[in-house]
A = this chain, B = another copy of it.
Amino acid sequence: MGNMQQVLDAALENIKPSQEEITESNEMFRKIQAFIRDEFSLESDLMGSMAKNTFLAGDKDLDIFVFFPPETKREILEKKGLRIGKAVFQKFRSKDYVISYAEHPYTKGVIKGFRVEIVPAYKVQRAELLQSAVDRTPFHKAFVIERLKNPDDVRLLKKFLKANGCYGSDLKTEGFSGYLCELLLIKYSTFEETLKASQLWHYQEVLDVNNHFSKHEYSRLRKKFENQPLIFLDPTDKNRNVAAVLSHEKLAKFIFVARRFLQKPRDSYFARPNEEINTKQLVAHQKEKGTALILLTFKKPDVIDDILYPQLRRFSGGITKLMKSEGFVILDSWEFADTECGIAVELLSERLPKYLDVRGPSVFNPPEHQDRFVSKYKKIWLEGTYLTAETEREHVDADGFFRSHLAKSAKKLHDSGVPSTIAESLQKGFKIINFPKVSKIKSKEFWKGLGKDN
């Protein structure tokens, strides 16, 4: 596979950090570490891809953990953790920092071009003793450093996934995490072998580098990790699936693109394709396709993406289910929250007939149910054993459906299943945009959804 090697070499040249870049990062970290030790008498250490030497050139991330004794009270850890963070950013003359919330609050900001995070954690001796999720990170680091032979192949995998939209375990992307990439390389040694191995994965393939489980336990694991299409057991915690966030689409896309790459290796698989979206062409194609398209937009709720995107998905799932039950034929739906925020729904047709047939109780159901149905409608007939009648439809178009279902108080919306932050935003107002007018929408995420570019 001469061609393959050429492509990989070229890709690596672009993504492998220089020795200079590595030295510079380490120096920056040493300075911050020294400051924390001198000022607060606490040990700190570098985590993340920089610590494991699996970062991509230009990814200037310093994830610094500050370790507290295990007996420290949680409030003390949180309070002092934030105090240390602030002190670091002040010391290094950075005004560009914020407090962020994972399992507990931490400080993050930019110092001399580096994205720095100061994360308080407990110093625990064994993984079983961990007190919070972040405490697991040092064990991940230790495992990777001890077992990973080819960090450059992790870089190739990360870049390959990034270029194809599958990298990142945030809840917007639902892709592969950096740690998952490292574990895959520990298991399969090289980038090429990882791609080849993926072609043989079954649905819910179980990957267990530590042989925590015997094969006859796999079906139990598959039930436990239901709906998670890949199961990579965390070598530091056998009850955890490292690939828990990975969606069906993103796993499938990786497997699909991997095969095409193996069949015909090309540089383009490592370059994010030209992101220019030809919206005119998409509009023209949609017109020719002939399905209906309707957008619901509202002010973007002020929450982090890890909360927003799952809520948008839940919202669009709920509302399309309701539309289906009213007779609309839903072909697709997706969410967007970059420039505009909202959901898009593709339908067989936007209008429905004025009347519809409603199915009532069966003649074998209690007479009082049947009598109630009979008293409600003028004309009754039987379909199978079911009383059936005709009724005027409440909403003959998607537009009217949205207006009547969403023009409610935030509380009522929430009670009817709309996620809270979206309910609050909807209450303040929303827009309904029908097909030809979508031309004005700027959101790349909307256009990528329309172009089926996942």
Contact = CB atoms under 8 A, between A and B. Distances in A.
Contacts of A101: none
Q: How many copies does the complex hold?
A: 2
A71 interface: no
A29 to B, nearest CB: 40
**Chain A contact surface mostly:** mixed
Nearest to A254: B363
Interface in A8-43: none
Interface string A271-291: 000000000000000001111
A383 B249 contact: yes
A423 B188 CA distance: 60
Contact of A252 (B256, B288, B332, B384): B384
Most buried by B among A248, A260, A390: A248
Contact of A331 (B249, B357, B380, B453): B357
- Place the interface of chain A in its size category: 35 or more
B289 A354 contact: yes
Contacts of A385: 203, 229, 248-249, 251-252
A252 B290 contact: no
A387 B256 CA distance: 9
B348 A382 contact: no
Interface string A350-384: 00111101000011100100100010000111111
A327 B354 CA distance: 21
Contacts of A290: 352-355, 396
Given A249-B382, A388-B452, A355 B259 contact: no
7 nearest A-B pairs in the assembled complex, by CB-CB distance: A290-B353, A381-B452, A252-B385, A289-B355, A255-B363, A252-B363, A291-B353
